[in-house]
Amino acid sequence: MVLATLVPLQAVAFGLVALGAPLVVLTRDPLRQALVNGVYGVSLVLLFVVLEAPDPALSMLVVSGVGYPLVILAAIARVRGHERTKDGDER
Protein backbone atom coordinates (compact mmCIF):
# COMPACT_ATOMS: atom_id res chain seq x y z
CA MET A 1 0.00 0.00 0.00
CA VAL A 2 2.81 2.42 0.81
CA LEU A 3 4.54 1.70 -2.49
CA ALA A 4 1.37 2.55 -4.42
CA THR A 5 1.31 6.09 -2.99
CA LEU A 6 5.05 6.69 -3.33
CA VAL A 7 5.24 6.17 -7.07
CA PRO A 8 2.84 9.02 -8.00
CA LEU A 9 4.43 11.23 -5.36
CA GLN A 10 7.87 10.50 -6.79
CA ALA A 11 6.62 11.30 -10.28
CA VAL A 12 5.26 14.66 -9.11
CA ALA A 13 8.52 15.46 -7.29
CA PHE A 14 10.62 14.56 -10.34
CA GLY A 15 8.28 16.62 -12.52
CA LEU A 16 8.67 19.69 -10.28
CA VAL A 17 12.45 19.37 -10.39
CA ALA A 18 12.41 18.86 -14.17
CA LEU A 19 10.27 21.97 -14.69
CA GLY A 20 12.13 24.07 -12.13
CA ALA A 21 15.63 23.76 -13.58
CA PRO A 22 14.83 25.44 -16.93
CA LEU A 23 12.93 28.18 -15.10
CA VAL A 24 16.06 29.05 -13.12
CA VAL A 25 18.18 29.14 -16.26
CA LEU A 26 15.69 31.12 -18.34
CA THR A 27 15.04 33.79 -15.70
CA ARG A 28 17.07 36.87 -16.66
CA ASP A 29 16.54 39.27 -13.74
CA PRO A 30 19.03 38.39 -10.96
CA LEU A 31 16.54 39.17 -8.19
CA ARG A 32 13.87 36.93 -9.67
CA GLN A 33 16.45 34.28 -10.46
CA ALA A 34 17.49 34.13 -6.81
CA LEU A 35 13.87 33.67 -5.78
CA VAL A 36 13.18 31.05 -8.45
CA ASN A 37 16.35 29.24 -7.43
CA GLY A 38 15.11 29.18 -3.83
CA VAL A 39 11.82 27.63 -4.93
CA TYR A 40 13.76 25.13 -7.06
CA GLY A 41 15.83 24.23 -4.00
CA VAL A 42 12.68 23.57 -2.01
CA SER A 43 11.43 21.29 -4.81
CA LEU A 44 14.73 19.38 -4.54
CA VAL A 45 14.11 19.10 -0.80
CA LEU A 46 10.70 17.60 -1.56
CA LEU A 47 12.32 15.14 -3.96
CA PHE A 48 14.86 14.05 -1.35
CA VAL A 49 12.14 13.60 1.27
CA VAL A 50 10.05 11.51 -1.13
CA LEU A 51 13.11 9.40 -1.96
CA GLU A 52 13.64 8.91 1.80
CA ALA A 53 16.96 10.73 2.00
CA PRO A 54 16.54 13.00 5.05
CA ASP A 55 20.18 14.09 5.45
CA PRO A 56 20.54 15.55 1.94
CA ALA A 57 17.06 17.04 2.30
CA LEU A 58 18.04 18.95 5.44
CA SER A 59 21.30 20.12 3.91
CA MET A 60 19.53 21.21 0.75
CA LEU A 61 16.88 23.04 2.74
CA VAL A 62 19.46 25.12 4.57
CA VAL A 63 21.75 25.77 1.61
CA SER A 64 19.44 26.09 -1.37
CA GLY A 65 16.23 27.17 0.30
CA VAL A 66 17.61 29.73 2.73
CA GLY A 67 21.36 30.40 2.50
CA TYR A 68 21.98 30.78 -1.21
CA PRO A 69 19.06 33.14 -1.92
CA LEU A 70 20.04 35.34 1.03
CA VAL A 71 23.66 35.57 -0.16
CA ILE A 72 22.57 36.41 -3.72
CA LEU A 73 20.07 39.03 -2.51
CA ALA A 74 22.73 40.62 -0.29
CA ALA A 75 25.17 40.72 -3.21
CA ILE A 76 22.57 42.31 -5.49
CA ALA A 77 21.75 44.92 -2.85
CA ARG A 78 25.42 45.72 -2.36
CA VAL A 79 26.08 46.08 -6.10
CA ARG A 80 23.02 48.28 -6.56
CA GLY A 81 24.09 50.36 -3.55
CA HIS A 82 27.55 50.90 -5.07
CA GLU A 83 25.96 51.86 -8.38
CA ARG A 84 23.81 54.48 -6.63
CA THR A 85 26.75 56.00 -4.76
CA LYS A 86 28.86 55.93 -7.95
CA ASP A 87 26.12 57.75 -9.85
CA GLY A 88 25.80 60.27 -7.01
CA ASP A 89 29.57 61.01 -7.02
CA GLU A 90 29.65 61.75 -10.74
CA ARG A 91 27.12 64.56 -10.55
In the predicted model, what is the mean pLDDT of residues 6-17?
Answer: 90
Question: How many whole angstroms separate alpha carbon 11 and alpha carbon 29?
Answer: 30
Q: Which residues contact 10 (CB under 8 A, 6 or more apart)?
A: 50, 51
Which of these, 27, 18, 14, 13, lies nearest to 72 by C-alpha position?
27
Query: What predicted TM-score, i.e. pTM, was given to this entire model?
Result: 0.75
Q: What percent of the chain has pLDDT over 90?
A: 40
Amino acid at 80: R
Q: Is the pLDDT of residue 25 over 90?
A: yes
* Domain positions in the chain: 2-90
Q: Is the pLDDT of residue 61 over 60?
A: yes
Question: How many whole angstroms separate alpha carbon 5 and alpha carbon 40?
Answer: 23
In the predicted model, what is the mean pLDDT of residues 2-30?
Answer: 88
Question: How many whole angstroms separate alpha carbon 41 and alpha carbon 36?
Answer: 9
Amino acid at 10: Q
Per-residue pLDDT, 30: 83
Cβ neighbours, 10 Å, residue 59:
13
Q: Are 33 and 27 in contact (CB under 8 A)?
A: yes
Q: Is 5 or 49 the better-scoring residue by pLDDT? A: 49
Q: Is the pLDDT of residue 88 over 70?
A: no
Per-residue pLDDT, 2: 61
Per-residue pLDDT, 68: 87
